[in-house]
Chains A and B, each alone.
Chain A
Amino acid sequence: MNPTFINRRTFLNQATVGIGSTALSSMLAGNAMANPQAWPANLPPHAKLSGNPKAKRVIFLCMAGGPSHLETFDYKPKLKEMDGKPMPESITKGQPVAQLQGKQLKCFAPQLEFKKWGKSGQYFSSAFPKIGGIADDICIVRSMTTEQINHDPAHTYMNTGTQISGRPSMGSWVLYGLGAETNNLPGFVVLTSVGGGQNQPIASRQWHSGFLPSKYQGVHFHSKGDPVLYLSNPNGVTNKDQRSVIDSVNQLNRIGNLTLRDPEISTKISQYEMAFRMQASVPDLMDVSNEPKHVLDMYGAKPGDGSFASNCLLARRLAERDVRFIHLYHRGWDHHGGVKNNVQKTANLVDQGSAALVQDLKQRGMLDDTLVVWGGEFGRTPMAQGNGRDHHIKGFSIWMAGGGIKGGISYGNTDELGYNAEENVVHVRDFHATMLHQLGIQSQFFTHKHQGLDFRLTGVDEEAHIIKGILS
């Protein structure tokens, strides 16, 4: 029997998992390129959706290292007054500190100028002139709190809702909950950039799917070498050669499956098709040279430079291609020393890209259904660490835009020294609940059973609250 003429009915009967009939027919006809499929094959939604989703996707701009809220989005004149004076013990007693353990705690004035931006008059650092230009689109939350004071567990907490390793990150949860809509790209993509301060390590656990199946894992796109690991053909192998090998592999698998009737084999066949398509689609995605010059200029991106600005542009391209969760990390915000110069320096690296992304999405009509989040794993102490600031978890700032979030407002406040979030306190789990809510997912019912427990992104113990005050 010639394998290319395998009985079509037999075939469709075996194809019980992850393969549509049209795709199969085209594969049988030897024309696998004709019909792209979901990546990875067939990701159904697992969350019960509420009536009114606002956002379809999330772009999270993670400012890794912990930006100082006091030099960026939370102005504290009182701290200026108290500069050099001891921090009131009533505030700091018994509180966790990181590198300031056992040191004298003194107030440290805000090191950068603040000003009013936009029609809304949002008040934030002059280090962000471009973000100033989108002040009316963003909602600043000044009352964030988290529970982990060191980088690694704090990222883990922000991403998974717990500091215990091995739980799914929010990108995986969202992909698991909503399923994938992309044709030939992963549904959860991670991009990274550096600069502006010491580069804290970022572990791949931050985009791991934990106890969810591996297909919900974030896929890290690299700006150097293969954009996706093992994406390039071996030396001396052209796309045509690769195609021949894949065709042969799939034919052999099909022949075997006539007797084995194993759904895993059917899936395997479709995954080889997918892999081959990715070899074309990913480089195409990463190649921004066909973007018009004014767009490149708007972001301040130079093709292939691996900068945060370039990653912002890629984020837009990924969003256009219906990737569900796009997570950018900029590793440069850990400013234990020289907070003045270093915040300014790092701000220079992220300001334009962040603002351009929001503007670009807006002008393409995509901001309405894209939730953009900007923030780090924690903030920094009002107390000095030399001329820098230590890690701080009791109050810090993030901002959001699009996806049904009100623009031009600020929400919540820290105390007059910027230490404790005091008014409208937003815990990380509240942020998670709000993000899921905007995506149409009710967080308390969005669970996955593992080791005998119903796990949630928002945790199993404490109640998470949607931040109603920021919804449009």
Chain B
Amino acid sequence: MWANVDFTNEVRPILSEYCFHCHGPDKSTREAKLRLDLSEGALRDLGGYSAVIPGKPEDSELVFRLHSDDKDELMPPPETGKRLSEKQKKILEEWIKRGAVYEEHWSFLPIDTPSVPTKSTKTKSKHPVDLFLAKRLESEAYSFAQPTEKKTLLRRLYFDLLGMPPTLMDANQFLTDKSDNAYDQLVDRLLADQRFGERMAVHWLDLVRYSDTIGYHSDNFMEVSAYRDYVIDAFNENMSYDQFVIENLAGDLIPESSKRQKIASGYNRLLQTTQEGGAQAAEYTAIYQADRVRNFGVVWLGATTGCAQCHDHKFDPFTIKDFYSLAAFFADLQEKPVGRRNPNLLLPTHEQEVKLSELELDKKESERKRNLHKPKIQQEEKELAKELKEMLANFLYSEPNKDEVQKKERILVEDSAPSDADLNGEWKLTEHPVFSGSKSIMRTGQGNNQHYFINSKNPHHVFSEEDEFFAYVYLDPKNPPRQIMLQFNDGSWSRRAYWGESLIPYGRENTTSRIKIGPLPELEKWVRLSVTAKKIGLKTKDKINGIAFTQWDGTLYWDKVGVKTKIDPRQDPDLSLKKWISLARNNKSLPVNIQTLAKKEEKDRSETEIQSLSQYFLNFVYKKIPANVVEIRKKLQETKGKTISLDAAVKKANDAIKSHKDTFRSMLVSQTGNNRMVRILPRGNWLDQSGEVVEPAIPEFMGKLDTKDRKANRLDLANWVVSDNNPLPARAFTNRIWKMFFGYGLSRRLEDLGGQGEPPTHPKLLDHLASKFRNNGWDVKKLIRTLVTSDAYKQSSVPTEKLAKNDPLNRLYARQSRYRVDAEFVRDTALSISGLLVSDIGGTSVKPYQPAGYWQHLNFPARKWQAGKGDDLYRRGLYTFHCRSFTHPAMLAFDAPSREECTAERPRSNIPQQALALLNDPVFVEAARVFAEKLLTHSNKEDLAKIHYAFQCALTRKPTKEEVQVMTELLSQQRKRYQEDEEAALALVKTGQKKYNTNLPVSELAAWTSVSRTLLNMYETTARF
């Protein structure tokens, strides 16, 4: 019945699907001490019987259990809902009959170098890809499809290598080139095109879950776009893949690593992180390490390791210890588990570097000046201080007493806005008219308007109800206000006095919250307004920390605002040492050592410390002092001022450097130096600290790193990944690249080459390609060139009816595959066809149009998407700012992933949101209009010629007669409609930021926009056939 039973392709998938969950590698869930993933386990004597007896299916317990009528004996147990088909049972029986030979899982075996089949009846090609594929076709009723049309092949190659269709000029170059090597030259041309790197990056960024935001909770911005550019460059420069692997995982650990290698190591920082208040560091540390291992497994090995976070893998030999040992490689990374991702690498442009060195010169100059002048000034200062000290040597100070209470006028505002308070409203200083000092403050406005200060650091303490607040006003006779109000803040704004009419709507009339003092003062002269504390309900010890100057209409000037009060000298810091000390602790203008001393508890101060404080007080503060002392004091202050301004110049230069650096592009990169201990977390539970402590190690079944006594690090890990005895990376990478050019992986599950994946449809071909790739210096472009120059690549993608029915998933490759291009390329295609595309490479991410309010559910902080301007709106899709929580909706509709986890393969859906986006997203409407402008300015004036030209631009082909008819009908209908309604036409052509061509008749442009919208929406435009 069977010629052969293939363990890898037939038997193991059945065992894996139906048995391994309970009889596989995971010992914690293993039932009946039976494991079927290893030969020893299956053959083990279970007490007179064995699960498997080679050659004797009839005696094998396994076979008996498959057929048992007893539901306690039947396997798999009925409650699992899993049943083997008769065919599957037969396969297992046949396998046992043939000796029950186990083979190691295919992907873990060393990569073979199979010999290329020499000839085939199915192809004349000598290309290894064709010969391997043909070999498989030998036993089938199918052969390769016809070569596809040249123009279809051209578009296919452009989409596959560049992510957008050819322009008309590109197309003509190839289609008219009749030389034998025209195609090969095209391949070379496109592989050398800078857009190649962008196209490859889109796939790569999905794998490494690249995003511009952190992902969890508040999903804030993080700057990692330099990593994206690194990937683009790496593909464009054809960096060898092993080098790429090493730089990604451990670029920072390469001795004397370059800036670019450090950027590459940003790979380790791309994962989702959190800033959520209340998030626990230990929990997120565990989340991050698991995330890194999961991503490491899929990206570099094509292996799913996620299961082993909680228990030994159920289908593959990865153990929970392997999982945490891999995690330990990343425990050296310095990062805050919870909080902002602060960049740790600056990337200035050349211009910025030039400017930086200029600023550094400024800084040096300011330092030079300071160093030059300061000693002399300090010497002067010293001498003055000495003089002062001598003068005061015999001065006796004693604390004042209450009897000395004196009247005092305290000025709150004079010649400038208060410097020790928060300000609001405009404080407009003017020199005319002025009551006292050099300036007054002018205010002019309509209705209710004001300026005020609040939160004064030196509030007025009301001495008694007799305190009298005053302010001088001057009313402009040409435009007098109708009401003036002073409002006082004693913690809240509830004390108000006013003059004139009652219009300002604050407070309750005739209470302390709103009391009329008198009529509007006389015009055109300075008048003193005043109000006692009592009038507005203020009591002793109330603190006035702000005053508002409010008026209704008009223009007026304010000057000299203050309070007539009495003061207890014990409360006056100018007279009382004690009081002064109590305020000095928070007075930032004092020398630091004085502040520090003032902060000490009184009892903790030593004799000398008290001496220093009182010395300072007498030297610089105390008011009742002889006139000659005051003179010296003044000189000393001036000298100090000089020192301060020298220091300030240095500070200013430093600040300029800092704020200049803030404008640099930056990057999160790997930074070693942490030495976190990693434990096995039983069941993945971060609260369980009972697990064994592990050191960095590769999965045990794959060997051991030889680092002697040195702890293995990420660089060792990276080197192991690309070492000769690791078969996985070359297979995983080759398989993914194959998928980009043939539509499906040779092993269908790109993310899992392990036991629950699918064995390759063409194992020898995969090994051939993987071994060539690895042995030829991991040359990515060479691998791709191999694939796209095969006949199999160039064949038609249209299946015969029979093939479509029997091989719907194209496992035989008896035709090419066809599908809609990826989300980013849908956008790029429309931009490119219309001519709207801005083809700059790299840079920080950009923000094209996005529906308003799409980000409304983001918070901490709440934010809005601010669409960019000019060129930023028309960049390729991969530069669009990627937000994990709210990925751009047009991208999302076309299956762009949120990049929270590794995506090796995007789904390809076909949903109405795609139609809505292509029809209505302004960028596609704008692209259609710009495309229409291109058609209207085309040299040929005939409609028919323009329609032909449109098809050539969009589809690289001429339209059929039927297609022309559809378009002509649409055009004439729309033309009529927009001629009748120019306003609508104008509204349509105005879509988008780019100005429309005003030389064209608006209704014509609108009608043609409908035509080009139609073309951009056509399936063929964005499909790869």
B1019 with A264: CB separation less than 8 A: yes
User: Complex: how many Å from CA A252 to CA B959?
Assistant: 10
Chain A residues, CB < 8 A from B917:
229-230
User: Complex: how many Å from CA A272 to CA B272?
Assistant: 36
Select from chain B the residue with minimum beta-carbon distance to A390: B278
B278 with A222: CB separation less than 8 A: no
B1010 with A245: CB separation less than 8 A: yes
Say which residue of B287, B751, B885 sits within 8 Å of A451 (CB atoms).
B751
Chain A residues, CB < 8 A from B434:
none
Say which residue of A98, A230, A240, A241 sits within 8 Å of B890 (CB atoms).
A230
A452 with B916: CB separation less than 8 A: no
A222 with B859: CB separation less than 8 A: no
A214 with B907: CB separation less than 8 A: yes
Q: Is A255 among interface residues, defined by CB-CB distance under 8 A?
A: yes
Known pairs A230-B851, A241-B1010; A98 contacts B752 (CB<8 A): no
Q: Is B1023 among interface residues, defined by CB-CB distance under 8 A?
A: yes
A225 with B853: CB separation less than 8 A: yes
Among A82-90, A116-124, A147-155, A395-403, the one that faces the other chain is: A147-155
User: Complex: how many Å from CA A3 to CA B964?
Assistant: 11
User: Complex: how many Å from CA A44 to CA B909?
Assistant: 15
Residue from B854, B862, B914, B1018 having most chain A Cβ neighbours under 10 A: B1018
A236 with B986: CB separation less than 8 A: yes
Considering the complex, which residues of chain B in the window 895-922 have a beta carbon less than 8 Å from any beta carbon of chain A?
895, 898, 900-901, 907, 909-917, 919-922
Among B103-111, B592-600, B753-761, the one that faces the other chain is: B753-761
B280 with A149: CB separation less than 8 A: yes
Chain A residues, CB < 8 A from B283:
96, 149
Considering the complex, which residues of chain B in the window 337-387 have a beta carbon less than 8 Å from any beta carbon of chain A?
none
B885 with A271: CB separation less than 8 A: no
B752 with A451: CB separation less than 8 A: yes
User: Complex: how many Å from CA A245 to CA B1014?
Assistant: 6
Tell me, rounded to whole Å, the shortest Cβ–Cβ distance linking B14 to chain A. 14
Say which residue of A214, A224, A231, A261 sits within 8 Å of B798 (CB atoms).
A261
A451 with B306: CB separation less than 8 A: yes
Select from chain B the residue with minimum beta-carbon distance to A202: B857
Known pairs A3-B966, A205-B885; A272 contacts B915 (CB<8 A): yes
User: Complex: how many Å from CA A101 to CA B307?
Assistant: 30
Chain B residues, CB < 8 A from A453:
304, 307, 756
Chain A residues, CB < 8 A from B306:
164, 451
Chain A residues, CB < 8 A from B304:
451-453
User: Complex: how many Å from CA A275 to CA B916?
Assistant: 6
Q: Is A288 among interface residues, defined by CB-CB distance under 8 A?
A: no
Say which residue of A39, A165, A244, A246 sits within 8 Å of B215 (CB atoms).
A165
Select from chain B the residue with minimum beta-carbon distance to A262: B818
Chain A residues, CB < 8 A from B889:
229-230
B1019 with A256: CB separation less than 8 A: yes
User: Complex: how many Å from CA A150 to CA B217?
Assistant: 9
What is the count of residue pairs linking A and B with beta-carbon distances less than 8 angstroms? Answer: 253
A203 with B884: CB separation less than 8 A: yes
Considering the complex, which residues of chain B in the window 771-796 have a beta carbon less than 8 Å from any beta carbon of chain A?
none
Known pairs A241-B1010, A260-B1025, A452-B304; A232 contacts B687 (CB<8 A): no
Q: Is B990 among interface residues, defined by CB-CB distance under 8 A?
A: yes
With A201-B858, A204-B887, A205-B885 known, 12 other A-B pairs at CB within 8 A are A149-B283, A152-B217, A164-B901, A229-B889, A229-B913, A230-B920, A234-B991, A236-B1006, A249-B1017, A253-B1020, A260-B1020, A271-B911
Known pairs A1-B962, A201-B858, A244-B973; A214 contacts B911 (CB<8 A): yes
Tell me, rounded to whole Å, the shortest Cβ–Cβ distance linking B276 to chain A. 5
Mark each residue of chain A from 241 to 273: 1 if its CB lies under 8 Å from any CB of chain B, else 0. Answer: 110111011011101100111101101100110
| 18 contacting pairs across A/B (C-beta < 8 A) | A40-B912, A94-B687, A153-B216, A201-B858, A203-B886, A224-B853, A234-B925, A245-B1010, A248-B967, A249-B1017, A252-B963, A255-B960, A260-B1025, A271-B910, A276-B915, A279-B916, A442-B81, A452-B749
Select from chain B the residue with minimum beta-carbon distance to A447: B81
Q: Is A324 among interface residues, defined by CB-CB distance under 8 A?
A: no
Q: Is A470 among interface residues, defined by CB-CB distance under 8 A?
A: no
Chain A residues, CB < 8 A from B462:
none
A242 with B755: CB separation less than 8 A: no
Tell me, rounded to whole Å, the shortest Cβ–Cβ distance linking B443 to chain A. 38
Select from chain B the residue with minimum beta-carbon distance to A278: B912
User: Complex: how many Å from CA A205 to CA B890?
Assistant: 16
B278 with A275: CB separation less than 8 A: no
Q: Is B860 among interface residues, defined by CB-CB distance under 8 A?
A: yes
Say which residue of B272, B804, B970, B1006 sits within 8 Å of A244 (CB atoms).
B970
Q: Is B406 among interface residues, defined by CB-CB distance under 8 A?
A: no
A98 with B860: CB separation less than 8 A: no
A461 with B911: CB separation less than 8 A: no
User: Complex: how many Å from CA A213 to CA B987?
Assistant: 37
User: Complex: how many Å from CA A275 to CA B911?
Assistant: 9
Chain B residues, CB < 8 A from A249:
1014, 1017-1018
Considering the complex, which residues of chain A in the window 145-180 have a beta carbon less than 8 Å from any beta carbon of chain B?
149-153, 163-166
Known pairs A278-B912, A444-B81; A222 contacts B857 (CB<8 A): no
B913 with A267: CB separation less than 8 A: no
Q: Is A92 among interface residues, defined by CB-CB distance under 8 A?
A: no
Q: Is A233 among interface residues, defined by CB-CB distance under 8 A?
A: yes
User: Complex: how many Å from CA A228 to CA B912?
Assistant: 11
Chain A residues, CB < 8 A from B307:
453
Say which residue of A163, A222, A264 sits within 8 Å of B820 (CB atoms).
A264
Tell me, rounded to whole Å, the shortest Cβ–Cβ distance linking A100 to chain B. 8
Chain B: number of interface residues, binned into ranges: 35 or more
A242 with B919: CB separation less than 8 A: yes
Q: Is A285 among interface residues, defined by CB-CB distance under 8 A?
A: no
Select from chain A the residue with minimum beta-carbon distance to B1015: A252
Chain B residues, CB < 8 A from A104:
none
Chain A residues, CB < 8 A from B983:
236
B909 with A215: CB separation less than 8 A: yes
A278 with B916: CB separation less than 8 A: yes
Known pairs A231-B920, A251-B966, A452-B304; A261 contacts B804 (CB<8 A): yes
Known pairs A165-B901, A261-B798, A331-B857; A236 contacts B1018 (CB<8 A): no
A259 with B798: CB separation less than 8 A: yes
A252 with B910: CB separation less than 8 A: no
Tell me, rounded to whole Å, the shortest Cβ–Cβ distance linking A49 to chain B. 13
A238 with B984: CB separation less than 8 A: yes
User: Complex: how many Å from CA A248 to CA B1016?
Assistant: 12
B1018 with A252: CB separation less than 8 A: yes
Known pairs A94-B687, A152-B216, A235-B987; A264 contacts B920 (CB<8 A): no
B966 with A248: CB separation less than 8 A: yes
Tell me, rounded to whole Å, the shortest Cβ–Cβ distance linking A458 to chain B. 13
Chain B residues, CB < 8 A from A202:
857
Mark each residue of chain B from 807 to 830: 1 if its CB lies under 8 Å from any CB of chain A, else 0. Answer: 000000000001110000000000
Residue from B820, B851, B853, B916 having most chain A Cβ neighbours under 10 A: B916
A200 with B756: CB separation less than 8 A: no
Chain A residues, CB < 8 A from B277:
99
Chain A residues, CB < 8 A from B884:
203, 205
Known pairs A150-B276, A205-B900, A248-B967; A274 contacts B915 (CB<8 A): yes
**9 nearest interchain CB pairs?**
A452-B756, A236-B988, A236-B987, A98-B278, A203-B885, A165-B900, A275-B915, A166-B901, A99-B278
Select from chain B the residue with minimum beta-carbon distance to A214: B909
Q: Is A2 among interface residues, defined by CB-CB distance under 8 A?
A: yes
Tell me, rounded to whole Å, the shortest Cβ–Cβ distance linking B804 to chain A. 7
Chain A residues, CB < 8 A from B893:
214
Chain B residues, CB < 8 A from A163:
287
Chain A residues, CB < 8 A from B1006:
236
Q: Is B38 among interface residues, defined by CB-CB distance under 8 A?
A: no
Known pairs A98-B279, A236-B984; A165 contacts B272 (CB<8 A): yes
A200 with B859: CB separation less than 8 A: yes
B919 with A275: CB separation less than 8 A: yes
Chain B residues, CB < 8 A from A94:
687
Q: Is A54 among interface residues, defined by CB-CB distance under 8 A?
A: no
User: Complex: how many Å from CA A94 to CA B282?
Assistant: 13
Tell me, rounded to whole Å, the shortest Cβ–Cβ distance linking A261 to chain B. 7
